[in-house]
């Protein structure tokens, strides 16, 4: 099972992720986030790191800003975590692979939420609804993905923690996990915001 570690802020932790079994690094380019990467690393430092797949996380940024960071940091993918429109996603997808994130609530109709984006992005991410645009550290009800016609690979996010290995393995056996591409982990694997607990990540990926 592929793992994306989001909210990386340290050069050393970015470079060691492949050794921990993580396939993707999430770098947050949202100034209001406590894990805003440019508060800790320069674009040249990010650009030099070539051992892992770098995913830039953006929230309602201009297309010009996103493309500038894609170029300056040599990002491999972008994750759009705000209120970006299908038209916006389509424009970016001409230049780079796009993951559109959806924050899921208990009342959401997921099929309805994703239908306009099916032809304009490469992947989805399903996360937990909360105040603002940051992570909540809480899970959404994964049963909300039952009977959803996803139609493309997706990341499962939202409060996933080290003790969820068995729950994730069980989820993988269900029809709704057919398009599951990767697990996204963040705050439950930290000692401080943006500082990852290397041991927890390694133990987690070893068990998956």
- The model's pTM is 0.96
pLDDT by residue (tens digit) across 59-85? 999 999 999 999 999 999 999 999 999
pLDDT at 130 over 90: no
| CA 42 – CA 92 distance, rounded (Å) | 23
Q: What whole-number percentage of the chain has pLDDT above 90? A: 95
Residues recognised as catalytic: 6, 127
Range 177-182 average pLDDT: 97
Structural domain span for residue 196: 2-207
Task: Quickly list DSSP for 74-128.
Answer: T-SEEEE-S---HHHHHHHHTTSEEEEEEEE-TT--HHHHHGGGTTT-SEEEEEE
pLDDT for position 134: 64
Name the nearest CA neighbour of 26 among 14, 40, 8, 10: 8
Contact predicate 9/39, CB 8 Å: yes
Tokens describing residue 165: 């290995």
pLDDT for position 135: 65
* C-alpha dihedral sign at 165, 169, 175, 177: positive
**Alpha carbon 41 to chain centroid, angstroms:** 19
Where residue 63 sits, what CATH number does that domain have? Answer: 3.20.20.70
Work out the pLDDT band at 137, boundaries 50, 70, 90. Answer: confident
The residue ranking higher by pLDDT, 136 or 105, is 105
Name the nearest CA neighbour of 92 among 105, 79, 81: 79
Name the nearest CA neighbour of 66 among 84, 50, 52: 84
Tokens describing residue 117: 């984006």
pLDDT for position 133: 72
In the chain, the number of structural domains is 1
pLDDT by residue (tens digit) across 8-23? 999 999 999 999 999 9
């Amino acid at each position: 099972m592929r793992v994306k570690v989001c909210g990386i802020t340290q050069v050393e932790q970015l470079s060691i992720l492949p050794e921990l079994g993580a396939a993707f690094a999430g770098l947050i380019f949202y100034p209001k986030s406590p894990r805003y990467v440019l508060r800790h690393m320069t674009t040249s430092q990010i650009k030099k790191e070539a051992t892992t797949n770098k995913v830039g996380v953006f929230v309602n940024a201009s297309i010009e800003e996103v493309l500038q960071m894609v170029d300056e940091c040599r990002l491999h993918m972008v994750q759009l975590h705000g209120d970006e429109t299908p038209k916006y996603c389509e424009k970016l997808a001409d230049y780079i692979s796009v993951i559109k994130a959806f924050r899921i609530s208990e009342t959401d109709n997921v099929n309805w939420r994703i239908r306009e984006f099916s032809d304009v992005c490469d992947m989805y991410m399903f996360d937990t609804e909360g105040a603002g645009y940051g992570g909540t550290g809480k899970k959404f009800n994964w049963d909300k993905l039952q009977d959803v016609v996803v139609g493309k690979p997706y990341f499962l996010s939202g409060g996933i923690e080290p003790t969820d290995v068995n729950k994730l393995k069980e989820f993988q056996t269900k029809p709704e996990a057919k398009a599951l591409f990767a697990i996204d982990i963040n705050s439950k694997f930290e000692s401080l915001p943006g500082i990852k607990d290397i041991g927890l990540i390694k133990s987690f990926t070893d068990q998956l």
